[in-house]
Structure 1
Amino acid sequence: MLQNTLEHETNSQARHITLVAIVAAIYAAITFVIQPIAFGPVQLRASEGLNHLAAWNKRYIISLGLGVFIANLVSPLGWIDWVFGTLGTVIMTSITYLLTCRVKQAGLKILISSIVVATIGMAILAAEFTLAFNIGAKGAFPSGSTGGIMSQWLAYYLSVVPGEIVSLIVGGVVIYALSKVIDLNK
C-alpha cells in the first residue's frame, strides 16, 4: 500500500515536471522560429497564445515563465528582457490563475486570460520598453513619442497590443479545442 502511494506520487511529480518542460520548450521553440517578428515594439509573438494555459493549472505559470526566459535569451534587450519579460509573464499568468481557478467554462477562462494579458501583461511590457529606452539600454528602440515617460509608455503599449490580441485569439482557439479533448486541470 505504501509502495503504491509512493509510486503514484513519484509518477505524478514526474508528469508535472514533464508538462512544465514541454510547455516551456514549445513556448521557446515557437518564439525562436518567428524570432524576427517576436521581439520589438511591434511584435507578433504567437507563443503568447499559450498564456491561456495558466487559467487551468498553476504549473503553467512556471512553464510560461521558463519559456519566456529561454526565448528572451536572444532578445535585443538582453538582461532587461530576461528579468522584466520573465517577471511580467509570471505576474500576469499568476493573476490569470487566481481570477480563473474557480471558473469552469473554458470560454470564460480564455476571455479572462485575454483581458489580463492584454492589459496587465502588455502594460508591464510597455513599461519595460520605456525603461530600456530611457536608460539607453543596448537594443532599446525609440517609441517615436515626443512627450514624457507616460506618452512613451502609451506609445509602446499601443504598439504591442494588436499583435498580442492576434496571438491570444489564435491561442485561445487552440487551447479551447484542446480543453475539450484533454483535461488541462490535471
Structure 2
Amino acid sequence: MNNQNQPKFASARNLTLTAVVAALYAAITMMVAPIGFGPVQLRLSEGLNHLSAWNKRYVVALGLGVLIANMVSPLGWIDWVFGTLGTVIMTGLTYLFTRKVEKPLIKIVISTIVVLTIGMAILAAEFTFAFAINAHGAFAPDHSSSSLLANWVSYYVSLVPGEFVSLAVGGVVIYALAKIVDLKK
C-alpha cells in the first residue's frame, strides 16, 4: 500500500472500529434492556470494557456505546452524563494501567479490578445521587433514614455481582479474540 494513503487508511480503520464497538455495546445493552439498568443489573455489554486494555480508541468507543445505550435509561440525563463519564474514566484508567502489559490474561485481570472497584464505585455514586435528588426513574427502596454512605454501599454491593458475571463472560471472549486478532492495531 502506498505510504501516502497509510494515514487515511489508519484513520478510517480507527473510525470504523470505534463505531462497530460503540454499536455492539449499545445493541447488546438494548437486547437485555430490562435487566441492563438499575442497581441489580446484568449488562453483558460491560464485557467489552476489556477492549480498553488494548487500545485507547476503545475508551472512546465504549463511552459512545454507553451514551447511546443510556438514551433509554430510566434515569435519563443523569445516566447520559454520569454513566458515560464513569465509563470513560474507568476505561481510560484501564488503558493507562495496562499500556505496558503484554499478556492478555493480565490485561483482563487488571481491567476487571478497575471496573469492579472504580467503575462500580462511580455507578453506585450515580445511583446515590439520583436517589438523593429524587430523580425520576431512581431505583431506590426507601432509604430515607439511611446515610448517603449507607446508600452508596448498598448500591455498590448490589452492582458488583452482575458486573462480575458480565466481565467474566466478556473476559473469555476478549481473551480468545486476542489470541487470533491483534487488538492493539
Q: Tell me, yes or no, whether TM beats 0.5.
A: yes
Paired position in structure 2 for 1:182: 181
Residue 144 of structure 1: CA displacement?
5.0
Paired position in structure 1 for 2:26: 28
Paired position in structure 2 for 1:104: 102
- Establish whether residue 38 from structure 1 lines up as the match of residue 36 from structure 2: yes
Alignment partners' CA distance in 2, 1:92 and 1:8:
31
3-state SS of the aligned residue for 2:83?
helix
Task: Give 1:56-71 correspondences, 5 Å limit.
Answer: 56-71=54-69
Alignment partners' CA distance in 2, 1:4 and 1:184:
23
Residue 143 of structure 1: CA displacement?
4.5
Identical counterparts, % of pairs: 65
Report how many aligned residue pairs link the two structures: 184
Residue 50 of structure 1: CA displacement?
0.2
Residue 141 of structure 1: CA displacement?
1.5
Paired position in structure 2 for 1:156: 155
3-state SS of the aligned residue for 1:141?
coil
Alignment partners' CA distance in 2, 1:143 and 1:98:
37
Paired position in structure 2 for 1:83: 81
- Consecutive unaligned residues of structure 2, counting only runs of 5 or more, are none
Paired position in structure 1 for 2:93: 95
Alignment partners' CA distance in 2, 1:180 and 1:4:
29
Residues 143, 155 of structure 1: 8 Å contact kept: no
Alignment partners' CA distance in 1, 2:182 and 2:9:
17
Alignment partners' CA distance in 1, 2:94 and 2:39:
24
Q: Which runs of 4+ in 1 moved over 6 A?
A: none
Alignment partners' CA distance in 2, 1:72 and 1:143:
22
- Consecutive unaligned residues of structure 1, counting only runs of 5 or more, are none
3-state SS of the aligned residue for 1:6?
coil
Opposite residue 174 of structure 2, the aligned amino acid is: I
Opposite residue 148 of structure 2, the aligned amino acid is: I
**TM-score normalised by L of structure 2:** 0.97
**TM-score normalised by L of structure 1:** 0.97
Alignment RMSD (CA, Å): 1.1
Alignment partners' CA distance in 2, 1:11 and 1:65:
23
Residues 143, 156 of structure 1: 8 Å contact kept: no
